[in-house]
Amino acid sequence: MKKSGMLNSHIAKVLADLGHTDTIVVGDVGLPIPPGVLKIDLALTLGQPSFRDVVDAIAEDMVIEKVIIAEEIKAENMETLQYINDQFKDCTIEACSHEQFKELTRNAKAVIRTGEAKPYANCILQAGVNFG
């Protein structure tokens, strides 16, 4: 058994398999999952687990160089936007339309579905490299 870090075996496998510029998506309960993209469904009830809890756990184990969000979050969900800006202050954060965001999810290695029930609580995390 793993001692620490990501304990969810499905997420741990995806993270271990990521290469530079590969992406994963952390999505709210309503984000559509494109056909053919691995869905890791963590949703238990509305709000559980939260977007923030899942992103925090992933960020502990993943080298992230870029985050993509939907432009609409700026008007509809300032709380989550502030969290993203704080959590990823050392990363590039890009915004695109929600329609473009959904198109980008088609190329993700996985979509991780949370129980979050707030609008536009979604992000695409792009893998960096751990050259130290």
Q: What is the CATH number of the domain that holds 89?
A: 3.40.1650.10
Rg of the chain over CA atoms, in angstroms?
14
Question: Starting at the edge strand that comes first in sequence, how are the strands of the sheet with 123-127 ordered?
Answer: 38-41, 110-113, 23-27, 123-127, 64-70, 92-96
Asked if the structure places residue 77 within a domain, the reply is yes
Two tokens, residue 118? 């707030």
pLDDT value at residue 11 = 98
Q: Which domain holds residue 77?
A: 20-127
Q: Which of 13, 17, 20, 94 is catalytic?
A: 20
- For residue range 16-52, what is the model confidence (pLDDT) as tens digits? 999 999 999 999 999 999 999 999 999 999 999 999 9
Asked if the structure places residue 70 within a domain, the reply is yes
Asked if the structure places residue 3 within a domain, the reply is no
- Alpha-carbon span 40 to 53, nearest angstrom: 15
Can you tell me the mean pLDDT for 77-85?
Answer: 98
85 is in an annotated binding site: no
Asked if the structure places residue 38 within a domain, the reply is yes
Q: How many domains does the chain have?
A: 1
Asked if the structure places residue 68 within a domain, the reply is yes
The H-assigned helical ranges of 1-132 are 9-17, 51-61, 73-76, 78-87, 98-104
- Residue 20 annotated as catalytic: yes
83 is in an annotated binding site: no
pLDDT value at residue 132 = 66
* pTM of the predicted structure, to 2 decimals: 0.97
